[in-house]
Amino acid sequence: MKIFHSGAKTLSVAAARVGIETVWLYHGLARKQSKADFPFLDHIYVYSSEEKTYFEDISPNSNVCLYPLKELSKLEKRVIIFLSKLDIRMSEKTILEILTLFLKKDYQIFLKKHPAYTGSLIHKIAEKYNLEMIDHEKDASESILSLRPSFTIGWGSTALCESLRHGIVPISLVGTRTGQSSNSQFHEEFLKSKEKKLDVLMGISYAADYLGLEFSWPVYPFKERTLSWKDEKERIFELLEDMSLYTKTLSELRMR
C-alpha cells in the first residue's frame, strides 16, 4: 500500500508510524522547510535539480526524484504565455508590450490560463489580438510538448522551470505589476479572490510579487533561471535579433 499526497505532513507522519509507504508529489515549486520537523517520506517528486539536492540534504533517507521531462531538439516559432490566476498580478501594459514585440517577429502566440483563473483581462486581450487559448485541461508540460515553443513567459510559474528543462528559454514577468494600481485596489481584489483557502505564505507571495520584491522562500533560484522582462529586457531584444545566441543563453540560464 502507498499513500500519495502533495503536502499532507500529518498524514505522512501517521503513515510512517504504521509502516505505510508515502510519496510526496510536489504541485508547484517547493518552499524551504524546517529540517527539524520535516516528516520522513519514502519518495519525493520535484521539478528541479536544485530542489532535489535540497531535499536530499534535509531528508537523506528519502528517495528524491525529478519529474521526468523530455528535452526538445526542434522548436517552433511560437510563444506560450502562462498566465497568473489573478488579474491584479498581471500588467496589461506589459502583456501588450510582449505581444507587440513577438508579433512583429512573426511568432505565433498562445495563452494558457491558470486553472483557477476567473478574471476578464485575458479574455479581452485574446479577443483583441485573436490569440488562441490552450485547452485548460492540458498541464504545462503537455502544452509545451504539443506546441514546442521557442519561448515561454509567465509570473513565477512552475511552467518556467519545466520550460528550461525542456530546453526552452523562459522569460519572467515577476515585478512588472509594480505601481499600476493602488494598495487599496490590490487589497480589495485580493480579498475578493475566490481562492478561499489561500494560506499566509501564498498571500505573502502575492504581495511580494505585486510590490516587485524578491520572494526568497522557494528553493528554486527563479531569478537566475529565467530572463527577467523587468531587468533584462535588452538581452531579450538582442536574442530575438540573433537567435544564434539561443543555445548559449539556454546554457547560461541553467548554470548562473
Q: Report yes or no: 165 and 140 within 8 Å, Cβ to Cβ.
A: no
For 100, the 3-state DSSP assignment is helix
Please indicate, yes or no, whether residues 37 and 149 belong to a single structural domain of this protein.
no
Model confidence over 98-122: pLDDT tens digits?
Answer: 999 999 999 999 999 888 888 888 8
Number of domains in the chain: 2
Please indicate, yes or no, whether residues 125 and 203 belong to a single structural domain of this protein.
yes
CB-side neighbour CA atoms (13 Å) of 103: 11
Is 71 among the domain residues?
no
What 8-state DSSP symbol labels residue 214?
-
Which are the contacts of 63, defined by CB distance < 8 A and separation ≥ 6? 42, 43, 44
Higher-pLDDT residue of 198 and 171 is 171
Residue 162 has pLDDT above 90, yes or no: yes
Of 40, 66, 92, the position where a domain reaches its end is 66
Please indicate, yes or no, whether residues 126 and 47 belong to a single structural domain of this protein.
no
Which grid cell is 239? 536574442
Which grid cell is 153? 513567459
Is 145 among the domain residues?
yes
Please indicate, yes or no, whether residues 148 and 247 belong to a single structural domain of this protein.
yes
For 211, the 3-state DSSP assignment is helix
Please indicate, yes or no, whether residues 198 and 251 belong to a single structural domain of this protein.
yes
Model confidence over 7-52: pLDDT tens digits?
Answer: 888 888 888 888 899 999 998 889 888 888 888 899 999 999 999 9
For 216, the 3-state DSSP assignment is coil
Of 35, 66, 97, the position where a domain reaches its end is 66
* Integer Cα distance of 46 and 53 in angstroms: 10
Confidence (pLDDT) at 37: 80
Please indicate, yes or no, whether residues 119 and 38 belong to a single structural domain of this protein.
no
Residue range of the domain that includes 21 = 2-66
Q: Report yes or no: 160 and 225 within 8 Å, Cβ to Cβ.
A: yes
Please indicate, yes or no, whether residues 245 and 124 belong to a single structural domain of this protein.
yes
